[in-house]
Each structure stands twice: as C-alpha cells, then as structure tokens.
C-alpha cells in the first residue's frame, strides 16, 4: 500500500525546488517552442520543471506512472503533472 504522507512530502519538496527554478528564470528571456498551434507551446523552463518533478518522483517511486504535459511513462501508480496556471497569460504579456 502506498504511503500518501510520504508522497505528499516528496511532492512538496519537489514543488519547492521547481518554484525556485521558475523564479530564477522568471526575468530571463524565454525560449518558446510551438507545438501544434501558436497557442500550444512549451518553454525550456516548462520542460525542465517537468523533468525535475518526474526524475524526483521516479527516484523515490520507480514503479509509478506519469502523465505530464510533455511526457508520459508507464507504471502501476499515477502522478498527474499539470502545467502552472496563468503561464500563457504571463508569456503573452512579455
């Protein structure tokens, strides 16, 4: 059985680390990659944050599955990684 308190603690630590990454890059110029449509895009920071979260979770829970904005994996248990709300608005304002 999965220990939800352990999962929560890890996720909160990773989110804190991801927040520091985003804050450090917040004032920097963004590299934006257009995917299927001009409003469907991803920044390098988006990709780095998702990778940080997935790698951190995978290290502690190697059999867990991910559904992320940019990548998915296979496994028995599921972590759903959602993009930060308001990113489109923030990028469009710059």
Residue ranges of domains in the chain: 4-11+31-93
Which has the closest alpha carbon to 62: 74, 71, 45? 74
Residue 47 sits at the vertex; the CA angle it makes with 45 and 51, to the nearest 5 degrees, is 115
With cut-offs at 50, 70 and 90, classify the pLDDT of residue 20.
very high
Please tell me which residue, 86 or 15, carries the higher pLDDT value.
15
pLDDT for 13 equals 92
Q: Which 3 state secondary structure label does DSSP give 26? A: coil
State the Cα–Cα distance between residues 22 and 37, nearest whole angstrom.
Answer: 24
Closest CA to 49 of 13, 91, 18, 80: 18
- Residue 70's pLDDT is 62
The answer to whether residues 22 and 45 touch, using CB atoms and an 8 Å cutoff, is yes
The predicted-structure confidence for 24-67, as pLDDT tens digits, reads as follows: 988 888 788 887 888 777 888 888 888 898 899 889 888 877 66
Note the CATH number of domain 4-11+31-93.
Answer: 3.30.540.10
pLDDT of residue 28: 85
Residue ranges of the binding site: 69
pLDDT at position 78: 58
Q: Is the pLDDT of residue 85 over 60?
A: no
Would you list which residues are annotated within the binding site for Mg(2+)? 69
pLDDT of residue 59: 92
């Amino acid at each position: 059985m999965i220990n939800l308190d352990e999962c929560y603690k890890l996720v909160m630590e990773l989110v804190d680390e991801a927040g520091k990454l985003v804050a450090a890059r917040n004032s920097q110029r963004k590299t934006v990659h257009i995917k299927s449509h001009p409003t469907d895009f991803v920044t390098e920071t988006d990709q780095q944050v998702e990778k940080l979260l997935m790698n951190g979770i995978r290290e502690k829970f190697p059999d867990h599955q991910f559904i992320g904005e940019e990548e998915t994996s296979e496994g028995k248990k599921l972590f759903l990684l959602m993009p930060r709300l308001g990113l489109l608005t923030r990028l469009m304002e710059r």
